[in-house]
């Protein structure tokens, strides 16, 4: 039977730490500030942005919301990013993805000052992660490392399998596990004999985007299973990429959905906002 890894509790711990750091800066007259840009009204983005703004308020971080229309041109968005890059009172800039089809996400991400790129998506920060330089880490994979460490799960020397190779989760996840001395395999849609590969894992990170795809046949007894997915099941209940009920008896530890990885992403974003100020002043 699996130990449940409580992402909500661990995220709350991290948020308390960030809140204390933000309060310290406030005493020095420094207000940690995050600019959040949302283009259009994608329903999922509205939920994420609302959560981010609410969490900022909880932690004493000032959020500047730019909710701009779907028809905004790429040029207009780029000039807003430029303006925020130049503002000394803005520590972090976040452009909520996805962007409308007429705007290049690549161009917009590349336009953000890497020192304010609290999402860790800018090519400079992606490169820094790969070479081991200091830089911002993307929230979801960085949050997963915190989940593992704060649950007393050692990564050093472990067989780690990441399913999924996105720029936001799979690839940076593999880099971070490697940095912690894991033996890392990335599996994806072209991987042959997927269950054979995933059954090697001591630590299995699942970021496929297919609801309840990972059943016990994919999991070694006692493995740690981290579920990045978020879907609605046949009863409209939230569920992940892992069939939680099926895997529960086999896994040694598992993250629930909701209440696992999800809360960690925002907590790490807040951590990055605070870190941005620390780096600026160091």
Q: Which residues are catalytic?
A: 52, 96, 119
Bridging pattern class, strands 224-227 and 203-206: parallel
Residues 226-265 within binding reach of ligand GUN (CB under 6 A)? 265
Single residue of 81, 94, 126, 268 touching ligand GUN by CB under 6 A:
94
Least Å distance, CB 99 to ligand GUN, is 9
How many positions of this chain bind ligand GUN (CB under 6 A)? 7
Q: Does 96 bind ligand GUN (CB under 6 A)?
A: yes
Q: Which stretch binds ligand GUN (CB under 6 A): 95-103, 124-132, 183-191, 199-207?
A: 95-103
Q: Which is nearer to ligand GUN, 48 or 218 (CB)?
A: 48
Least Å distance, CB 219 to ligand GUN, is 26
Least Å distance, CB 50 to ligand GUN, is 13
Least Å distance, CB 15 to ligand GUN, is 16
Q: Which is nearer to ligand GUN, 94 or 137 (CB)?
A: 94
Q: Answer yes or no: are the C-beta atoms of 256 and 74 closer than 8 Å.
A: no
Q: Answer yes or no: are the C-beta atoms of 241 and 226 closer than 8 Å.
A: no
The angle formed by the CA atoms of residues 84, 90 and 93, to the nearest 5 degrees, is 65
Q: 67: which strand partners? A: 38
Q: Which stretch binds ligand GUN (CB under 6 A): 92-100, 126-134, 146-154, 203-211?
A: 92-100
Q: Which is nearer to ligand GUN, 219 or 262 (CB)?
A: 262
Give the residue from 196, 177, 174 showing the smallest Cα distance to 186.
Answer: 174
Q: Answer yes or no: are the C-beta atoms of 89 and 34 closer than 8 Å.
A: no
Single residue of 6, 119, 241, 275 touching ligand GUN by CB under 6 A:
119
Q: Which is nearer to ligand GUN, 99 or 224 (CB)?
A: 99
Q: Answer yes or no: are the C-beta atoms of 170 and 127 closer than 8 Å.
A: no
Q: What are phi and psi of 26, to 5 degrees?
A: -60, -40
**CA of 123: how far to CAs of 34, 110, 130, 185, 205, in Å?**
20, 7, 11, 23, 24
Q: Does 139 bind ligand GUN (CB under 6 A)?
A: yes
Least Å distance, CB 83 to ligand GUN, is 18
Contacts from 101-109 at CB under 8 Å and sequence distance 24+?
102/73, 102/74, 103/39, 103/72, 103/73, 103/74, 103/77, 104/74, 107/74, 107/78, 108/74, 108/77, 108/78, 108/81
Q: Does 97 bind ligand GUN (CB under 6 A)?
A: yes
- Name the residues that contact ligand GUN, by CB under 6 A: 94-97, 119, 139, 265
């Amino acid at each position: 039977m699996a130990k449940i890894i409580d992402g909500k509790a661990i995220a709350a711990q991290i948020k308390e730490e960030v809140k204390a750091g933000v309060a310290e800066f406030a005493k020095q007259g420094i207000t940690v500030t995050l600019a959040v840009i949302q283009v259009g009204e994608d329903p999922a983005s509205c939920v994420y942005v609302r959560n981010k703004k609410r969490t900022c308020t909880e932690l004493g971080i000032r959020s500047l919301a730019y909710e701009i229309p779907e028809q905004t041109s790429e040029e207009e968005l780029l000039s807003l990013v430029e303006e925020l890059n130049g503002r000394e009172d803005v520590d972090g800039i976040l452009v909520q993805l996805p962007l409308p089809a007429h705007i290049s996400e690549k161009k917009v991400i590349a336009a953000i000052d890497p020192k304010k790129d609290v999402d860790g998506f800018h090519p400079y920060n992606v490169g820094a992660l790969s070479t081991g330089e200091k830089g911002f880490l993307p929230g979801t994979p960085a949050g997963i490392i915190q989940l593992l460490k704060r649950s007393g799960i050692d990564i050093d020397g472990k067989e780690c399998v990441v399913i999924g190779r996105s720029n936001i989760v799979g690839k940076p996840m593999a880099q971070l596990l490697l940095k912690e001395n894991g033996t890392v395999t990335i599996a994806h849609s072209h991987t042959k004999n997927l269950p054979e590969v995933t059954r090697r894992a001591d630590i299995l990170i699942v970021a496929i985007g297919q609801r309840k795809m990972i059943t016990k046949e994919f999991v070694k007894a006692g493995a740690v299973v981290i579920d990045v997915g978020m879907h609605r099941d046949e009863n409209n209940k939230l569920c992940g990429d892992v069939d939680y009920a099926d895997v529960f008896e086999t896994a040694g530890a598992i993250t629930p959905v909701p209440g696992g990885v999800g809360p960690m992403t925002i907590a790490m974003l807040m951590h990055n906002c605070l870190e941005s100020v620390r780096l600026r002043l160091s």
